[in-house]
Every structure is written in C-alpha cells, then in structure tokens.
Structure 1
Amino acid sequence: MLFAMIAKDAPGALQTRLDTRPAHLDHLNSLGKKLVFAGALLNAEEQPEGSIVVFEAVDLAEAEALAAADPFVPAGVFSSYEVKRWRIAVNTTGVEL
C-alpha cells in the first residue's frame, strides 16, 4: 500500500531544514524500495515550505513510524505533518508504481 506524508514547515525553520537536510536525505535513502518519491513543497520565492514523501508500507502504523523517523520531525522543521493512505489515479511517468 502507498502512503503520503504531507508536512508543513514551521515558521523560520529554513536554516534548521538546511542544517538537517543531510540526515534527512540519509534517512530517505535508507528506505530503499519503500521510498516512492520525495520532495519539498515550494513557496512563491522557490523556498521550501513543506514536504511530500510517498512510501510503501504494509499498514498505516508502519507508514506513521517511517514518517516519525524522518530527522526533520525531531529537529522541529515541521510545524505539522500527516500520513494518509494514497492511491494513484493517473500515472504518466511510465514507471510502474
């Protein structure tokens, strides 16, 4: 099953995000094939203001654990995040998901 983590950055968290980014990327890379895709949500100035991470998990509990393990969470980068079951409706990438 696929799950999406949708996160909003805390006000003023850009420097914390930048400082924590190497650990965040290490975490994402450690997920291996569980990670489908990940990236920052950008504001009008092209600065990060949140994140979307889509991963495969057996259930919501595992998906929530994967999200909570992201170093951005304990570092305080996110003011909030939620994990939701996600279903692909259209896929034009040519990649089988």
Structure 2
Amino acid sequence: MLFVIQCEDIPNGLELRQATRPAHLDYLKTQDAHILGAGPFLDAEEKMVGSLLIVDFPSEAEARTFAENDPYAKAGLFASTSIRRWRWGIKPPAGL
C-alpha cells in the first residue's frame, strides 16, 4: 500500500535539521525498498522546512513505525506529521 508522509518542521528548526540530516539519510538508505520518492519542502529562501515521503508498506501501522523511527522525528524536528493512504494516479513508476 502506498502512503504519503508529510512532515512540517518546528519553527526555526533548520539547525536541528542540518545536525540530524546525516543520520536521517543513513536511515532512509536502510529503508530503500520502501521509498518511492522523498524530499524536503522549501521556504521562499530555499531553506528546508519539512519533508515529503512516498512509501510502500503493507499497512499504515508499518508506515507509522517507519516515520516514528526517522532520526528527524526522534530528534523532535517535526511540529506535525501526517500519514495518508495514497494512490498514484498520473505517471506511476513501472510496476505500480
């Protein structure tokens, strides 16, 4: 099942994001088989202010566990996180 995980950073969270980023990227590498796409949200000054991930997990509970184990989440970077079931409608990757 596909899920979109949308995370908004805490105010002035850029320093925490940058300090935690190497661990975050290492974590994503360990979960590569589940990730279809990911990247940061940017503000008007091109500074990272959140995250968007498209993931494939058998259940929402597993997607939630994935999100909760992200070093960004564990460090308290996110003010909010939403996880929603999603269907790829336009230009899905091969095999979906």
TM-score for the superposition, normalised by structure 1: 0.93
For 1:35 and 1:26, the matched residues in 2 are separated by 13
Amino acid at match of 1:62: E
Q: Is the 8 A contact 1:13 1:76 kept in 2?
A: no
Matched, 1:87 2:93: no
In structure 2, the residue matched to 1:26 is 26
Aligned residue pairs, count: 95
Letter in 1 for 2:52: I
TM-score with structure 2 setting the length: 0.94
Q: Distance in 2 between matches of 1:84 and 1:68?
A: 15
User: Deviation at 1:32?
Assistant: 2.1
- In the other structure, the counterpart of 1:35 is 35
Cα distance in 2 between the residues matched to 1:61 and 1:90? 26
Name the SS of the counterpart of 2:4 in structure 1.
strand
Q: Distance in 1 between matches of 2:78 and 2:46?
A: 18
Q: Is the 8 A contact 1:6 1:51 kept in 2?
A: yes
The match for 1:53 is 53
2 CA distance for matches of 1:74 and 1:67?
Answer: 9
Structure 2, unpaired ranges of 5+:
none
